[in-house]
Structure 1
Amino acid sequence: MFRRTFWFSTGVAAGVWATTKVNRKLRQLTPESLAASAANKAIEAGHRLKDRAVGFALDVRHNMAEREAELGEALGLNAPIDPQLPGVRRYPAIENSNKTKTYVIDRTTYSYNRNEDH
């Protein structure tokens, strides 16, 4: 009698356990649950990618600064300037566009400034 009660209880427990497992898996496989899981994984992947990109950018900036320092030393850009030499000449890459240009058309003078409000 105890043997039958033991095996009956064991069967009931196994049935409850299996039913619980199957119901959990079915809830995980619903479209809403799958969509939420995919969205969470995509967000996590985006965060990991962003962290790697930021780390890469910092490494690039650090190595760029080191290389610029090496080139500056190799070219003597950081060397002290001899006071007998003329100063450094700097030429503008673009001319000052704020200057007003004057045009003469049919003996009438027109001034033109492209930065002027119209």
Structure 2
Amino acid sequence: MTASPTVAKRYIEQRDKGFWIEGTRVSLDSVVYAFLNGESPESIAQNFPLLSLEQIYGAIAFYLANRKLIDVYLKEGEKEFEKLQQSLGEKNPSLYEKLKAALMQKQSKT
């Protein structure tokens, strides 16, 4: 008797208005941004040791199959992040400037 083929697996789940790698606390955003920045699945696996290579390929396949939806989702997340940055800048300008300077310093090293 031969082994039966594997039935399609779910690699992504939607929770709390976000997309996550199934059964983990790793967001789909993390994998997609790394992929869009040119990282290979193997490199992403090194940066996220909790994920298997299969999960990473599954996440990338999900993104590619649902690109329009996920791109809109990512843009909405970026807008929300910008709002939070602006709010922090208004509430605590000195902390905001320190964080901004640290980020610029980090970016200049790469």
TM-score for the superposition, normalised by structure 2: 0.28
Higher RCO by CA contacts (8 Å cutoff, separation 6 or greater): 2
Larger Rg: 1
